[in-house]
Amino acid sequence: MAKERQCIACLNTYKYCPTCGEFAKYPTWMTEYDTEECKEVFNAISGFNMGIKKAEDVKKVIDKFGITDFNKFKPTIASKLNELFGKKSTVVEKPEIVSAVEANAKPEEALIPEPTVEELIRESEEDVATREYRPRKRRINRINED
């Protein structure tokens, strides 16, 4: 039975089942992407973000598929494409959802900096150093022989 899926590159929904006979002729990458274009663009951007690919490699993929509108991809991909190749289209960002607790928080409380790794290590070492050593009590299981 075909399952409704969502493309991880453009967020479009489509139907695909990797184990169904009717989809046997389709490639297995369709479990994540709805089109080859989305697959290639996602892999190119991911490779660029990891430092494996260069901007020229991403440009080749964009040119291969003749992509002019970056808004058809999800906002993170579209913004990276705009950053790399200039502003071809405007990215419509989804509004940030702020919880009621965050909205009512005092400005000082909202901007508390996260502790650094060094601070966390120092705190854990201090905690270990101040801990008292208490040997465990041994339990002896005795068998009552009558």
pLDDT (tens digit per residue) in 105-131:
555 555 566 777 777 777 767 666 666
Please, how many CA atoms are within 13 Å of residue 58, restricted to the half-sphere of its CB? 24
- As a whole-number percent, the residues of the chain with pLDDT over 70 amount to 64
What pLDDT was estimated at residue 38?
92
Q: What is the pLDDT of residues 15-70, one digit of tens each?
A: 998 888 888 888 889 889 999 999 999 999 999 999 999 989 999 999 998 888 88
What pLDDT was estimated at residue 91?
46
What pLDDT was estimated at residue 88?
47
Which band of pLDDT confidence, cut at 50, 70 and 90, is reported for residue 85?
confident
**What does the buried/exposed string (b/e) look like for 27-49 if buried means 16 or more CB atoms within 10 Å of the residue's CB?**
eeebeebbbebbbbbbbbbeebe
